[in-house]
A and B are shown apart, each in its own frame.
Chain A
Amino acid sequence: MAGEATEHARQNRWEQLSQYRGLLAFVAVFILGCLYTPHAVDTGRSIFLSWRTQLDILYEYCEYGLLATGMTLVILAAGIDLSVGSVLGCSATLFAVLTVGYGWHIPEAIAVTLLFGMGVGALNGFLIARFRMQPFVVTLATMTAARGLAKLISGGIKVAPAAKEWYKLQDNTPPFFSWMSQSLPHLGMKPAALIFLVSILIMAVLVARSTFGRNLYAIGGNEEAAVLSGIAVHRAKIIAYSLCAGFAALAGIINACRQDIGDPEAGVGFELDAIAAVVIGGTSLAGGRGGMLFTLVGVLIIAYINKILSLNAVAIAPRMIIQAAIILVAVLIQRQKRS
């Protein structure tokens, strides 16, 4: 992870060590999971420690994970994208309408859905870069618009086979839908979880090794300086926002498959979970510091905490307070590092 450190940050030993704060927190969470776990009624084995639970955690958080992956790109460049939850919902609806409603083949529907997502992202990036509009405001607007669009293309209903008379598919969703949430032979992992892992690892390499990645850090660190040093700031921003919304569209396709339904209301509030995962991982909301593997750790921390709380049937009230405490503590540690 040291390779992702910014050039701006002074690399003394202490700071190198503090890079692993996230991992330590994750280990702490894991140990708590081992201590507090229900046991199988028949065999008495720990449920938390089973391999199946580990895979379930990845599967259950893959949508948030994909959103956080894209969000990291944008946040590194000192931006924010509030529209990802809505783009997820809109993409899920679009994908379901194309496949279930119009009977399109899966590859074409995936391509169109991803292009749609990247188009929304490109629009975000263009407005933010070209007109210097606030990312918060621009993406707030697209967040609302995308949700409206989702309801528009679905006709205000949840898209499922036979939901409307003219739908091509009247009996069942395409086999691709159930494939997404069935364990792959040999691996045991579900395709949805695998897509998340592969995506975030590719992006980790891209951010750490490519010019595009270095440009994001430079823009997030000091945009004026980045412009002066000849970096194509506009282009980098547009690409970052396009990729971010593209990942949201990918998460939307997964959502439609997992829920077996195209729900225009899918993904409401997901953007906040994605931002929380990025921040807990240790990427600074001010931009310029952090990295993709940090986000992976952040996603895992949130996912594991939620699974532990769920396995132990902790009631919703204490659960929400615990989640809040964790976010605050994580951000507190970040501030500590700055001073």
Chain B
Amino acid sequence: MKTMKFAFAGVLACALFAGINTQSESHAAGGLKPAPATKGARKTFTIGMSQCNLGEPYRVQMNKDIEAAAAKHPELKIIYRDAQNRSETQQSQMREFVQQRVNLILVSPKEARPLTRPIAEAMDAGIPVIVLDRKITGDKYTCFIGGDNVKIGREAGKYMAQLLGGKGNIIEIQGLGTSSPAKERHDGFMDGIKGSQIKILESVDCQWMEPNAQREMASALSRFPKIDAVYGQNDPSAHGAYQAAKQEGKGREKQIKFIGIDSLPNEGIRYVKDGVLNATFQYPTGGADAIDNALKILNGQKVPKNIILGTRRFTKDNVAKGGTPL
């Protein structure tokens, strides 16, 4: 029995050692007041960053963008947390940041309502909070930075009309129909193609997933003899549609135009370079903007309450030059 007890403690200790050694020296910053320091050029700041999950490539990219932007500012130390897609976990991460007295919190919320209160509590504790990508309810945050899905959808629609010369039959592959980005990307797109003779043959819900998109597109191909273009609400679904057309074996993937959204380096951008997609529209992660504004806040400057980011269009001609800002 005694040996068992020691074994228990031993396993715990080893496991914790192993786990703890994996993280950086991010807690090492010291000797600071949480309040914004005035003109403290040589001071260090600790920033807590809570990401709602690291399963989606977009969110991994956001963290990368933050890391890249922060690397230019040696005075910043960032503690990264992954909430593993659980609001409960993200709530406790907010509380832990407050306890650690970080100088600023970045948060990319999983869900608006559950996080509203913990973020308000951090604000009450005097810690500024920058909310990324998804808004919370109310206005108790320092700054929100996010993309504009309606605008992105509209730009995609306008480009689609241009690409097809104002008329044609298209398939829309939606994200998760009940989610707000899917609705906004749809509404924007409809606005963008207004006045043209583009007809949406079918609008299918693929829940943002490439395999679903591929399956739905395969059935659409068998039903409709003439499809001129596909509007995928994210790049993987446009790519899935392309694959379905290619696998059909009639060479229709060469005639059909494909447009996607998000423009992540390893997805949309690569697909455009490879000639799979005709265009992709960027949904910005806001990572670099988050660091810019964090620095302003930490140095006592004012920042706008809501920062809506623009988008970029990537096509084969401009992808090497970093796309066209819209």
Contacts and interface: CB of A to CB of B under 8 A. Distances in A.
Interface of A: 14, 18, 21, 24-25, 28-29, 32, 36, 38-44, 47, 50, 52-53, 56, 60, 156-158, 160, 178, 181, 258-261, 305, 307-316, 318-319, 321-322, 325-326, 329-330, 332-333, 336-337
A234 to B, nearest CB: 37
Contacts of A53: 99
Contacts of B88: 60, 258-259
B15 A310 contact: no
Contacts of A50: 99
Interface residues of chain A: helix, strand, loop or mixed (majority): helix
Q: Which 10 A-B pairs have the closest CB atoms?
A: A314-B19, A322-B15, A318-B19, A38-B27, A260-B113, A259-B114, A28-B9, A261-B113, A41-B101, A42-B101
Given A18-B1, A36-B20, A260-B116, A313 B15 contact: no
B195 interface: no
Contacts of A337: 1
A305 B84 CA distance: 17
Given A60-B92, A336-B1, A312 B20 contact: yes
Interface string B115-126: 011000000000
A167 B4 CA distance: 57
Interface string B92-119: 1101100111110000000101101100
Given A32-B12, A259-B113, A309-B19, A42 B95 contact: no
A325 B11 contact: yes
A314 B113 contact: no
Given A43-B101, A44-B30, A259-B87, A326 B18 contact: no
B114 A261 contact: yes
Given A25-B8, A261-B113, A40 B15 contact: no
Contacts of B34: 41-42
A311 B99 CA distance: 10
Interface residues of chain B: helix, strand, loop or mixed (majority): helix
Contact of A333 (B8, B93, B95): B8
B22 interface: yes
18 contacts: A18-B1, A28-B8, A28-B12, A29-B12, A36-B20, A42-B101, A53-B99, A56-B92, A178-B117, A259-B113, A261-B111, A312-B23, A313-B23, A321-B15, A326-B11, A326-B15, A333-B4, A333-B8
Contacts of A32: 12-13, 16
Contacts, number: 131
Interface residues of B, number: 49
Given A44-B30, A313-B80, A260 B114 contact: yes
A260 B1 CA distance: 46
A259 B112 CA distance: 10
Given A28-B9, A36-B20, 10 more contacts: A40-B100, A42-B31, A42-B33, A43-B101, A47-B96, A157-B178, A259-B114, A313-B81, A326-B12, A329-B7
B79 interface: yes
Given A259-B114, A260-B117, A314 B23 contact: yes
A21 B2 CA distance: 10
Contacts of B99: 40, 47, 50, 52-53
A10 to B, nearest CB: 16
Nearest to A47: B99
Contacts of A14: 1
